[in-house]
Chain A
């Protein structure tokens, strides 16, 4: 009963084992990849472990406050940045081990040649664990 965020990166993560850019895959390989992830999400829905998931566009914009009465400063899209998030999924599982197991499964989505891409996924626990009262 702990929530974890699975982060897929466009960039910033270590290279996948089967590291071929998606635009060089066959169309049916892309379909198989997407289907795999949809099936994965649907299966977690059935086990009662799915919370949320979304894909993100590759462009983002940096925004900051620029002082009283002035519009926020924007800068972007930030093509220079090292880290880019492609999408996320939130799961609610019974243990860290289960979270790792699921992240491993998601990382096995098929890529070029129909083989698993072995991409690195970032697994982050939510700071939501309730304080067990021990005082």
Chain B
């Protein structure tokens, strides 16, 4: 029984049911029933057309459920009266599903959960494990999300930017439990990129591939963070890098720049350097300028200060940093790094300690504490 195949078929089967007139929540239930049935009978009797089989079984389940529910009688009549739809390209349905699951009426966590369930085909248990919440909590989140989008018309084009944000949220969540959300986010973004011709979708896919390519080198065997400059570049996944760069170049050639393409361009410049010293920081600063123009985000200006520090020296970096709101997360960490490069080790050690207290996660806190300890030890005790 091929679970991967089932998962890849789920969204288009669901999309077909919804387009035929099933409401989202009922369609989702019916598809889940069909998947359970498939797991039961396929190993002994594999169908020649798995997708057709799933659509037939799910549609029958949906009609059964609808018939059993007297209150739904009218909708059943309406559905029965509709002419059977002709064959449609599967990608269209999946695409609509992306927009439905990332609907602006949903909170970010609901949109993420619904996307993983309906488009990704993950089970509620898998999603709950990945986000470290009880299964009952995740089940409620998903069923609320389903109710929220139940009345949403399926034929309106959604907002690509919202879909991309949801996918990037999944990507950044990392992984725990038995589902690798990074790989899942890449898989879903790949699927989206195949269905929709949009430079920012390509930009996000390139960005994910380029970040993902460095994943193995980013943490040491004990789980501690390894800064970019110290990473073993031999452990970078050159195949992913090549694919990411190729997708990015094709997207940039379309001349419709967006923030994901700009971020991917920065990631590509890092990935392109064979040693940390070979990094083209001048060009990276230029991309940060583009990115700041596109987003006007303080986080971007903070990262730009780091790049300026590398391109024009720590003093220039500190000057750029002075213009950034100092309450931003990681502002102190950047200040510590630039002071260290400028040779002011006492101030740097103090700032690293301060930055560690403000770190948003354990890996960063431990990393910054180690930096402070390293500088303090050098001073001699």
Check A17 for interface membership: any CB of B closer than 8 A: no
- On whether the beta carbons of B134 and A131 are closer than 8 Å, the reply is no
Which listed segment binds A: B11-19, B102-110, B341-349? B102-110
Interface residues of A in 67-88 (CB under 8 A from B): none
List B contacts of A49 (CB < 8 A). Answer: 137
Chain B's interface size range is 35 or more
B133 near A127 with CB under 8 A, answer no
Find out whether the CB atom of A1 lies under 8 angstroms from the CB atom of B299. Answer: no
Q: Is the pair A127, B362 in contact by a Cβ cutoff of 8 Å?
A: yes
Interface residues of B in 143-182 (CB under 8 A from A): 144, 169, 172-174
Interface residues in B113-128 by Cβ distance below 8 A to A read 113
Report Cα–Cα, A73/B364, bound state, in Å.
34
Beta-carbon contact of B361 and A128 below 8 Å:
yes
CB atoms of A52 and B228 under 8 A apart: no
Q: What residue in chain B is nearest A98 (Cβ atoms)?
A: B107
CA distance A93 to B101 in the complex (A): 19
Contact B299–A134 (Cβ < 8 Å): yes
User: B112: which A residues are within 8 A, CB to CB?
Assistant: 1
- Stretch from A27-35, A40-48, A110-118 that touches the partner: A40-48
Compute how far the CA of A133 lies from the CA of B104 in the bound complex, rounded to whole angstroms.
Answer: 25
CB neighbours (8 Å) of A52 from chain B are: 134
- Contact check, A127 vs B361: say whether CB atoms are below 8 A apart: yes
Is B204 interfacial (CB 8 A cutoff)? no
B109: chain A residues within 8 A (beta carbon): 1, 48, 92, 94
Check if B138 is an interface residue, CB within 8 A of chain A: yes
In the complex, the answer to whether B172 meets A132 with C-beta atoms within 8 Å is: yes
Name B299's closest neighbour in chain A (CB-CB).
A134
Q: Which of B140, B169, B214, B360 contacts A47 (CB 8 A)?
A: B140
**With contacts defined as CB atoms under 8 Å apart, how many contacts are there between chain A and chain B in the complex?**
69
B303 at the interface (CB under 8 A from A): yes
| B137 contact from A1, A51, A130, Cβ within 8 A | A51
Q: Find the B residue at minimum CB distance from A1.
A: B109
Q: Point out the residue from B131, B144, B211, B359 that lies within 8 Å of A92, measured CB to CB.
A: B131
Q: Give the shortest distance, in Å, between B141 (CB) and chain A (any CB).
A: 3
**Contacting pair B144 A48 (CB below 8 A):** yes
Contact B361 A92 (CB under 8 A): no
Q: Find out whether the CB atom of B107 lies under 8 angstroms from the CB atom of A130.
A: no
Q: Tell whether, in the assembled complex, residue B361 and residue A131 are in contact, meaning their CB atoms are under 8 Å apart.
A: yes
Chain A stretch 98-126: residues in CB contact (< 8 A) with chain B: none
A63 lies within 8 A of chain B by Cβ: no
Q: Which residues of A contact B365 (CB under 8 A)?
A: 127
Q: How far apart sit A45 and B136, CA to CA, in the bound complex (Å)?
A: 8
Chain B residues close to A by CB (< 8 Å): 107-110, 112-113, 131-134, 136-138, 140-142, 144, 169, 172-174, 211, 214, 218, 225, 227-228, 270, 299, 303, 359-365
Which 3 residue pairs spanning A and B have beta carbons closest together? Answer: A48-B141, A48-B140, A129-B360
Q: Can you list 11 contacts pairing A with B, beta carbon distance less than 8 Å? A: A45-B137, A46-B140, A46-B144, A51-B132, A51-B133, A94-B108, A127-B362, A131-B225, A131-B360, A131-B364, A135-B228
